Amino acid sequence: MIQKVRLAAILVAAVLLSNCSINNSRTIYQPDYGRNTGEISAKNPPPSTHNNICKIYQYDRQWLTAAKASEKKWGTPDYVLMAIVHQESKFVKHARPSYRGADSSTAYGYAQAQELTWKEYQEATNNPRAKRTSIKDSLDFIGWYNQNTNQRNKVPKTDTRNLYLAYHEGNGGFERKTYQKKPWLLKVAKKVTQLANDYKSQAKSCRR
């Protein structure tokens, strides 16, 4: 009888430890490449579409609608907005940073917006319900941020390179030219600029 009680106690303890391990582990979000039918169930465009803005728009028109709405509201062209999203999250809804030491980062969602900056955006736009996992809100956020960069640092809204550097480093960091000490970041900014140029050329022939 005593042995049975001990065995039962061991089994219960094992289950409890297993549950603790699961609850304390970091959730890893895998890209969902299913077909999208609405904002709530938004899916991520598959990698095969990423290098062609027309294919992204054809796959899910939310991207077209949201990008054009942000462009009209804030002035940053849709091809610049989309190139930034591609670099930041690869269009993955629940994206989080994957680089070393990223556990302390609050960057999240399509735009990889930091928590405090997102709250600033919510207050500035009077949109407390804005979500970092929303296509519409994420593109609006990038447009809003670029507007601030334009006003504060006089960066044209078509200057993908410097808009991205300011987006990555923050406007304060951009003013201090912190990016000059980061050769890898300059390469990334060049890559984003090239993609934006490709998107711009492709967009001229997109079926709307």
Tens digit of pLDDT at every position of the chain (208 positions): 545 445 444 444 443 433 433 233 223 333 443 334 334 335 789 999 999 999 999 999 999 999 999 999 999 999 999 999 999 999 999 999 876 454 458 999 999 999 999 999 999 999 999 999 999 999 999 999 999 999 999 999 999 999 999 999 999 999 999 999 999 999 999 999 999 999 999 999 887 6
The tokens for 29 are: 């979000």
Q: What is the pLDDT of residue 103?
A: 47
Q: State how far the Cα of 88 lies from the Cα of 113, in Å rounded to an integer.
A: 9
Packing angle, helices 135-153 and 160-175, rounded to 10: 60
Q: Which amino acid is at 141?
A: F
Residue 11 burial class via C-beta count within 10 angstroms: exposed 0-12, middle 13-18, buried 19 and up: exposed
User: Per DSSP, which regions of 22-164 are E strands?
Assistant: none
Q: What is the pLDDT of residue 98?
A: 75
Q: What is the pLDDT of residue 13?
A: 43
* pTM for the full predicted model: 0.79
CA-based Rg of the chain, rounded to a whole angstrom? 21
Q: What is the pLDDT of residue 99?
A: 62
Q: What is the pLDDT of residue 138?
A: 98
Query: Measured between alpha carbons, how far is residue 120 from residues 56, 130, 144, 157 in Å?
Result: 29, 11, 11, 21
Q: State how far the Cα of 106 lies from the Cα of 85, in Å rounded to an integer.
A: 17
What the chain holds in terms of domains, given with CATH numbers, is 2-203 (1.10.530.50)
